[in-house]
A = this chain, B = another copy of it.
Amino acid sequence: MDVIRENHPAKARLYVDAPLQASGFVTVTKEQAHYLGNVMRLPLGTVIALFNGQDGEWHGVIDALDKQGGQIALTDQTRPQTNSPDLWLLFAPVKKARLDFIAQKASELGASRIWPVRTEFCQISRVKDERLAANAIEAAEQTERLDVARIMKFEKLATALAEREDDRLLIWCDEASAGAANHNITTALAAIDPPKKAAILIGPEGGFSPAERKVLTQVDNCLTTSLGPRILRADTAAIAALACYQAICGDWR
């Protein structure tokens, strides 16, 4: 972040859970104060950027910093609020570093919900959602988005599918369609009207079970897609599918 911001008026960018308004002050957490003061070594008076997912982006100056936290004096709104496309990522979680990675990358690529789902062949039994959230927030700070992906609790695939509204296109990245050129994700997405709401579904490394496949083939408003002839790991598949979606149907257009 420090590199990107060398010539930037704001020397850091933070997500805060507080209203942002003219002449206001915002408190930052102990960890954020440590980041500003000790990691970035920013002196009092430095301009930083703030967002809260609702009030757009604001500039403010560092007014006070100590070991308990800090205070930022807001100056002006620099961007009005905009939201990322309404795009869920449903995925069978993977282990440790690659799970952090999925949360970071999905956040950078503008997912609105990040939802780990339990499938039959999923080998993970617990997911720390605070850790996913921390990764998603940090990525949102870096990537300059103005909203933050909502992290959903680890639940059964069936629960997520039941919560999906009928008009939310399900984009099933089906490992059994690997290499099927007629299911190529970009071709499939380019052939439809860009949906207002979508959910990408990535399976576990062992694939979906026969019972899950049967359910998925019967789901309404579902596009079965292929991510090419090679076997992709779950994290690579998630990033590839999110990028293709944003490029063809989302906010890269």
A105 surroundings in chain B (CB, below 8 A):
236, 239
Q: Chain B nearest CB: distance from A76 CB in Å?
A: 21
Q: Tell whether A253 is near chain B: CB-to-CB under 8 Å.
A: yes
Contact among B108, B185, B233 with A247 in the assembled complex (CB-CB below 8 Å): B185
Chain A 180-222, CB-CB to B under 8 Å as 1, else 0, gives 0100111100100000000000001111000000000000000
Give the number of copies in the complex. 2
A251 surroundings in chain B (CB, below 8 A):
228-229
Contact among B110, B184, B186, B252 with A226 in the assembled complex (CB-CB below 8 Å): B252
Chain A 236-253, CB-CB to B under 8 Å as 1, else 0, gives 100111011011101111
A184 surroundings in chain B (CB, below 8 A):
247, 252-253
Q: Tell whether A109 is near chain B: CB-to-CB under 8 Å.
A: yes
Chain A's interface size range is: 35 or more
Q: Chain B nearest CB: distance from A217 CB in Å?
A: 20
Chain A 17-39, CB-CB to B under 8 Å as 1, else 0, gives 00000000000000000000000
A162 surroundings in chain B (CB, below 8 A):
none
B121 touches A231 (CB 8 A): no
B206 touches A3 (CB 8 A): yes
Which one, A43-51, A54-62, A141-149, is touching chain B? A141-149
A228 surroundings in chain B (CB, below 8 A):
109-110, 246-247, 250-252
Known: A97-B97, A105-B239, A144-B231. 11 other contacts (CB 8 A): A4-B207, A4-B231, A101-B101, A108-B230, A142-B233, A143-B233, A187-B247, A226-B252, A243-B243, A243-B244, A244-B244
6 A-B pairs with CB atoms under 8 Å apart are A108-B236, A186-B252, A227-B252, A228-B251, A229-B251, A243-B243
